[in-house]
Structure 1
Amino acid sequence: MSELKELTTTEEFDQVWEKSTEGPIFVFKHSTTCPISANAFDEFQKYANTNGKEEPVYFLKVRESREVSNHIADVTGVKHQSPQLLLIQDKAVKWNDSHSNITIDNIEEAAL
């Protein structure tokens, strides 16, 4: 079971970016006011709770942490969307998707 950790500062994301050289990391951008985001976050949490891995998984609330969300887009080169899930490894985005495409099946496939 992977522990979900919230990112609230750009410095925290920069640490995650550096840590991605040690293995894959998921970062989920979540809008707390959007039902589509709530569904996608549920799928992401199911994955984190059932994948049997101890991989790092992070999330941020885009409205509350807009600066962090913008920073992630700048660093990764991936245009911001919400909800959005990024798989980062070796300081590169290996996979990303958004909205209704964030399902446990798609996450598991990306994690292989």
Structure 2
Amino acid sequence: MGLFKNMFGSSEPKEVKVLPWIPLDSINQLEIIAEKSKTKPQFIFKHSTRCGISRMVMNQFINQYDLDSNVDLYYLDLLSYRDVSNEVGYKFQVIHQSPQLLIIKNGEAVAHESHGAINEMNISKWI
């Protein structure tokens, strides 16, 4: 029976890690993010809900994310809020990509990566 349990997974519920996401759904929030970044790092995770690669990268990010990090973590559904996504690029001077993680400090993007490079970032140096 152990072989089948290992092959097909356990019937025991898997613990789900929930990050303290702040929905980013308004252009007005970008000014708040820039201001708050003067005292605390702000992370923006841009995600395409229709993209399998974006979903995979986001799941990996969630699994690796340290819940004790002292940052504000924003989630942007860029398909639902295309105007906000475009404004993120203009305001923080980054080319749009998806998925994408931006780290905002002192009002500007100090780091940003997309796709698999997101999970290779050493985010602890920005905290």
CA contact 1:44–1:102 (8 Å) conserved in 2: yes
CA contact 2:43–2:72 (8 Å) conserved in 1: yes
In structure 2, runs of 5+ residues without a counterpart are 1-17
- Cα gap change, 1:47 to 1:20, in 2 (>3 Å): farther
Alignment partner of 1:14 out of 19, 28, 31: 31
Deviation at 1:35, TM superposition (A): 0.8
The alignment yields a C-alpha RMSD, in angstroms, of 1.7
Aligned to 2:92: 76
Deviation at 1:58, TM superposition (A): 0.6
Deviations 1:32-80, CA, capped at 9 Å, x for gaps: 00011001111232344x3422321111001100000000000011011
Where 2:22 maps in the other structure, the secondary structure is strand
Identical aligned pairs, as a percentage?
A: 31
Establish whether residue 53 from structure 1 lines up as the match of residue 69 from structure 2.
yes
Q: Greater CA radius of gyration, 1 or 2? A: 2
Aligned to 1:95: 111
CA contact 2:47–2:98 (8 Å) conserved in 1: yes
Deviations 1:9-47, CA, capped at 9 Å, x for gaps: 001122111111112111010000001100111123234
Alignment partner of 2:44 out of 27, 42, 59: 27
| Alpha-carbon separation, structure 2, partners of 1:19 and 1:2 | 19
> Number of residue pairs matched?
108
Aligned to 1:42: 59
| Alpha-carbon separation, structure 2, partners of 1:57 and 1:47 | 14
| Alpha-carbon separation, structure 1, partners of 2:87 and 2:115 | 20
| Alpha-carbon separation, structure 2, partners of 1:13 and 1:73 | 11
Deviations 1:83-106, CA, capped at 9 Å, x for gaps: 110011001111110012121xx2
Where 2:28 maps in the other structure, the secondary structure is helix
Higher relative contact order (CA 8 A, sep 6+): 1
